[in-house]
Structure 1
Amino acid sequence: MLIEDMVVPGAFVITPRQIPDERGTFYEAMRDDLLEKATGVAFRPRQINYSVSKRHTLRGIHSVSIPPGQAKFVTCVRGALRDIVVDLRIGSPTFLRHQVNELDAESGRSVYVPEGVGHGFLALTDDACICYVVSSTYVPGTQIDINPLDPELGLPWNCPEIPLISDKDAKAPTVAEAAAAGILPRLSKAGTP
């Protein structure tokens, strides 16, 4: 598999090496040893979540406060989506920078989102299904939600119509409001949250 750095430190795009034959295709979607070698952090799955969305559904930007923190290994298992990661770590040299990746079931491409980095996506197909393999179980009250349409972020969703968005995401604070409320993670001098 090919593991490539993103513009957001600690985030990676993972493209599997597919092995096709007359029956179809086989590939390794995730290897913890290779991921740990690339990231320098052990990733141990604690929970697996799926989200199924209609075309033009916008979900995110979501993260988890530290502690407990939550890294994510995100894969589109059906359909296609525009995936965006945003550095929400105050003190990071790439604070508020983002990267866009197109994920689809055919390519098997995934993204690794480290703790403290926000994540969201726009469904590009009907019945798009995304799988999140996460490093911690759900803890009520630790979710960090940022409005995905925050003009300060200016994220390139490029949705051809008004996106379908939950009330929770539509009413989520802007980055400035979240920073003023003290809910964004801080990057330590060692370079980790």
Structure 2
Amino acid sequence: MSKRFEIEATPLDGLLLLKRRPIADPRGSFARLFCAEELAAAGWHGPVAQINESRTRHRGTVRGLHYQKPPFAEIKLVSCVEGAILDVAVDLRPQSPTYLKTHAAELSAGNACALMIPEGFAHGFQALTDDVRMIYVHSAPYAAEAEAGIDATDPTLSIAWPLPVANRSPRDEALPRLSILDERFSA
């Protein structure tokens, strides 16, 4: 069977861009969102523990930057299946050569791309269109006690959000900046 993904490395170690290869005919199209065999070769380990859907109504909305702390860290496969987003990943692994570096990629229903985000990364996105629908595949179940995040507008990260940042949740607005996290880790 032919491969259903073209897998590309990004500048951040372990963060991969996946381009789905839809099959189309006059009736419509078919695209594989997840393939354990192909993605295991690219670094996916563990089971599929959860598949989640999110909807974002308004263009400019920013969600994140979220992550799960060890031992509940997870790999995420993020796909946008309706509308378009700017998806952002931040390397939070202190031992990594790309520590605190960010990478952004446009994911949309039209470009059939996804990001495979390894453990140790924070993740967030901005809706580039109204009515965005996303599918997340997680390697570990959600654990509320391991939930963490970073302020998506932290100037240290220099994320170039293409639209004015809007519609953040109270939880996301209260996320700490990296300087506060550094203070907590050094204490």
Instruction: State the match for 1:8 in structure 2.
Output: 12
Instruction: State the match for 1:174 in structure 2.
Output: 177
Is 27-36 or 91-100 further displaced after alignment? Answer: 27-36
3-state DSSP of counterpart to 1:20: strand
The one-letter amino acid of 2:132's match is A
Residue 21 of structure 1: which of 16, 22, 25 is its match? 25
State how far apart, in whole Å, the 2-side matches of 1:162 and 1:68 are. 29
Is 43-52 or 54-63 further displaced after alignment? Answer: 43-52
The one-letter amino acid of 1:167's match is P
State how far apart, in whole Å, the 2-side matches of 1:130 and 1:89 are. 26
CA positional deviation for 1:132: 0.9
Equivalent residues in 2 for 1:9-158, closer than 5 Å: 9-39=13-43, 41-53=44-56, 54-158=58-162
The one-letter amino acid of 1:120's match is G
Instruction: State the match for 1:187 in structure 2.
Output: none
CA distance 1:105–1:3, shift in 2 (3 Å): same
State how far apart, in whole Å, the 2-side matches of 1:137 and 1:42 are. 14
State how far apart, in whole Å, the 1-side matches of 2:147 and 2:122 are. 11
State how far apart, in whole Å, the 2-side matches of 1:181 and 1:142 are. 16
CA positional deviation for 1:113: 0.5
The one-letter amino acid of 2:102's match is H
3-state DSSP of counterpart to 1:141: helix
Partner deviation per Cα, 1:76-108 (whole Å, 9 max, x = no partner): 111110001110111211011111110011222
Identical columns (%): 34
Superposition TM-score, scaled by structure 1 size: 0.89
3-state DSSP of counterpart to 2:77: strand
State how far apart, in whole Å, the 1-side matches of 2:174 and 2:75 are. 24
State how far apart, in whole Å, the 1-side matches of 2:8 and 2:68 are. 24
State how far apart, in whole Å, the 2-side matches of 1:157 and 1:110 are. 19
The one-letter amino acid of 1:57's match is T
State how far apart, in whole Å, the 2-side matches of 1:181 and 1:49 are. 31
Aligned residues: 181
State how far apart, in whole Å, the 2-side matches of 1:172 and 1:131 are. 23
Superposition TM-score, scaled by structure 2 size: 0.91
State how far apart, in whole Å, the 1-side matches of 2:74 and 2:82 are. 24
3-state DSSP of counterpart to 2:100: coil
Contact 2:21 2:112 in 1 (8 A): no
State how far apart, in whole Å, the 2-side matches of 1:85 and 1:174 are. 15
Contact 1:35 1:43 in 2 (8 A): no
